Amino acid sequence: MTTRSAFERTAIAGFAILTLLLVFGTTFSIRRFATEADAQVRATRAEEAEITRVERLRWNAELIFSSGRGYLLSGEPALLAQVKESRQRFDQTMAELRRQHLSPARRALVDEAGRAASSYIQVQQELIDARPHSDDPRVLARRFEIEQLPLSRDLARTLSRLVDDMMVGLNEHYEATSVERAALAARLYGLLAALLLAAVGTGGYFARRLGGSLEKERVALETAHKAVAARDELMGIVAHDLRNPLGAITMKAALMRKGTDADRTRQQAESIENIAMRMEYLIQTMLDVTTLEARRFTVNVGPCALADLLRETAEMFGTVAASKQVRFEQSAKEPGLVLLVDRERVLQVLSNLIGNALKFTPPGGHVTLSVERQGAMVQFGVFDTGSGIASENVARVFERFWTETPGKKGTGLGLFIAKGIIDAHGGRIWVESKLGHGTRFFFTLPIAEVAAEDVASAQAGATPHLV
C-alpha cells in the first residue's frame, strides 16, 4: 500500500469530522421535527376542543331558549326539566371553558357570553316562576318574546363572535405550524443532501485512490515481469553465444593436443586467440547493455580528429569489403575537424553500422561513410545498397534484441548500444530505409570548441601512433 501524504491525512480527518457533524445534525433535526410535530398536534387538538365547547354552549343556549318558550306556552313539566338540564350543562361547559388557558381577548368574549347568559336566564326564570300564577300563558309568551329575544340574540351573537375568533385563531395556528413544518422539512432535506454529498464525495475519493494504487501496483508488477523476462532473455543469449565459441576452442585445443604438424598447430592457436577475443567482445556487449539499462552509461570524451576515425574505419573494413566484393567509400568535406567524443565508443558505433551495412549488401554494391558539418555538430551517414528494412521495422531497429533475421545471427544489441553511445554524447541517431532501396543510418556528434592552434596538438594527442 502506498503511504499517505500529510494532505491526505488532513483531508480524511476533515471528511470524518464533517460526516460526523452532519450525522449529528440530521439526528437532532429529526428529533426536533418529531417533537415539534407532536406539540403542534396537541395544540391543534386543544384548539379544536375549545371550539367544540363553544359550540356546545351555543347548542345549550338554543335548547334553554326553545324549551323555556315551549314551557311558557304549554306548561309541560318535561320542558321545564329540559330547561333546567340545559342550564346545568351550559354552566358546566362555561366553567370548563374558563378553566382553559385563554387569550385575554377570548376570555373577555367568554365573560361577555357568561354575562349575557345570566341576564337572559334571570329574565327567563322570572317568567317561568310567573307561569303557575298566570291566567293567560299567551301573555307570558308574549312578554317572553319581547323581553327575552334581544337577550338571546346578544348571547347568540357573543357566542358566534367567540366561535369566529377561535376559527381565526385556529387558521392562524394551522398556517403558522405549516410554515414551521416546511422550514423544518427544508432544513432536514438540506442536511440529508449534504450528508449524501459527503458520502458520495468520500466514497468517490477512496474509490479513485484505491483504483489509482491498484493501477500503480499493476504497472509496477508488469515492469518487474518485463525486467525479469528481459534478464532471462539476456542470460539465454549469453549462454548460447558463449557456448558456440567455447565449443570451437575446446575442439581446436584437442586438435592441437593430437596434432604433429607445427604450422597447423600454430594456426589453431591463432584461431583460439581470435575466438577468445570475440568472446571478450560479446561479454563487453552484454556489460554495455547492462550499464545502459541501469542508466549508468557514461562516455569519456576528449578531442578526437575526424581524419583519425576515417583512417581507422578504412583499415578496419577495407579488406572485409574487398573480400565481399563490396566497395567501401568515405566522403568528408572537412576531414580536419576535431570532435569532442569518446574515440573508442565512436569507433564501436562506426564499426557496428559499417559492419551491418557490409553484411546486408550483396556483392557488387557499395557502402559509403559520409561526414559533414552541421553547425556545432558533425553529421555522420552510413549508406548501403543492401536489401533495406521494412517500413514497419524502421522504428524498431534501435530496440533491444531487434534483428533483421530474428533469433538467428547476431545478438540484436549492436544498434541498441550504438544509440546509447550517441545519446551519451548528446547526439542523435536515426535511420532512413525502404525495402529494396538500401539503408541510410545517420548520427550526430559534437565538435570540439578548440582554438585553431590547439587543433594540431589535439590531433597529435588523439592519434599518437600517427606522429
Partner 1 sequence: MADVLIIDDDLDSADALSEAMRAEGHDVRVGYNGQDGLRLARERVPDVALLDVEMPLLDGPGMVYQMFLHDMGLEDVPIVFLSGVADLPAVAASAGTPYFLGKPYRYEQVVTLVGRALAEGVAPRPRRA
Q: Look-up: residue for cell 553529421?
A: 379
Q: Which of 12, 194, 195, 249 is in the footprint of partner 1 by CB under 8 A?
A: 249
CB 83 within 8 A of CB 67: yes
**Per-residue mark of binding to partner 1, 174-213 (x: CB under 8 A):** ----------------------------------------
Residues 262-281 that bind partner 1 (CB under 8 A): 268, 271, 274-275, 278
Q: Which of 103, 171, 178, 250 is in the footprint of partner 1 by CB under 8 A?
A: 250
> Does 319 engage in binding with partner 1 (CB under 8 A)?
no
Residues 388-407 that bind partner 1 (CB under 8 A): 405, 407
Cell reading at 393: 521495422
Q: Provide the b/e sequence for 412-424 (b: ≥16 CB within 10 Å).
A: bbbbbbbbbbbbb
Total residues at the site for partner 1 (CB under 8 A)? 29
* DSSP character string of 30-97: HHHHHHHHHHHHHHHHHHHHHHHHHHHHHHHHHHHHHHHHHHHHH--HHHHHHHHHHHHHHHHHHHHH
* AA identity, residue 51: I
> 219 or 390: whose CB is closer to partner 1?
390
CA dihedral 414, 417, 423, 424 (to 10 degrees): -140
* DSSP character string of 137-161: HHHHHHHHHHHHHHHHHHHHHHHHH
Cell reading at 230: 528481459
Residue 26's φ and ψ, nearest 5 degrees, are: -65, -45
Stretch that binds partner 1, among 221-229, 257-265, 290-298, 346-354 (CB under 8 A): 257-265
Q: Which of 203, 212, 247, 318 is in the footprint of partner 1 by CB under 8 A?
A: 247
> 213 or 244: whose CB is closer to partner 1?
244
Q: Which of 72, 114, 144, 245 is in the footprint of partner 1 by CB under 8 A?
A: 245
> 77 or 363: whose CB is closer to partner 1?
363
The minimum distance between CB 276 and partner 1, in angstroms, equals: 10
CA distances, 349 to each of 287, 303, 414, 430, 451 (Å): 16, 17, 8, 13, 27
> Does 37 engage in binding with partner 1 (CB under 8 A)?
no
CA dihedral 370, 373, 376, 382 (to 10 degrees): -10
Q: Which of 31, 98, 243, 434 is in the footprint of partner 1 by CB under 8 A?
A: 243
> Does 246 engage in binding with partner 1 (CB under 8 A)?
yes
Cell reading at 447: 565538435
The minimum distance between CB 242 and partner 1, in angstroms, equals: 8
Cell reading at 440: 541510410
The minimum distance between CB 231 and partner 1, in angstroms, equals: 15
> 51 or 238: whose CB is closer to partner 1?
238
Residue 56's φ and ψ, nearest 5 degrees, are: -65, -40
Q: Which of 251, 322, 376, 390 is in the footprint of partner 1 by CB under 8 A?
A: 251
Stretch that binds partner 1, among 77-85, 150-158, 252-260, 335-343 (CB under 8 A): 252-260
Residue 404's φ and ψ, nearest 5 degrees, are: -70, -30
> Does 386 engage in binding with partner 1 (CB under 8 A)?
no
Intra-chain end-to-end CA distance of the chain, in Å:
65
Q: Which of 101, 133, 408, 465 is in the footprint of partner 1 by CB under 8 A?
A: 408
Alpha-carbon Rg for the chain, nearest whole angstrom, is 58
The minimum distance between CB 240 and partner 1, in angstroms, equals: 5
**Per-residue mark of binding to partner 1, 337-366 (x: CB under 8 A):** ------------------------------
Handedness of CA 149, 154, 159, 165 (dihedral sign): positive
Q: Which of 248, 286, 310, 455 is in the footprint of partner 1 by CB under 8 A?
A: 248
Instruction: Compute the distance between CA of residue 165 and CA of residue 171 in angstroms, rounded to an integer.
Output: 10
Distance of CA 70 to the CA centre of its chain: 90
Stretch that binds partner 1, among 176-184, 244-252, 344-352, 378-386 (CB under 8 A): 244-252
Q: Which of 101, 258, 295, 333 is in the footprint of partner 1 by CB under 8 A?
A: 258
Q: Which of 14, 203, 236, 426 is in the footprint of partner 1 by CB under 8 A?
A: 236
Which residue ranges make up the site for partner 1 (CB under 8 A)? 236, 239-252, 254-255, 257-259, 268, 271, 274-275, 278, 405, 407-409
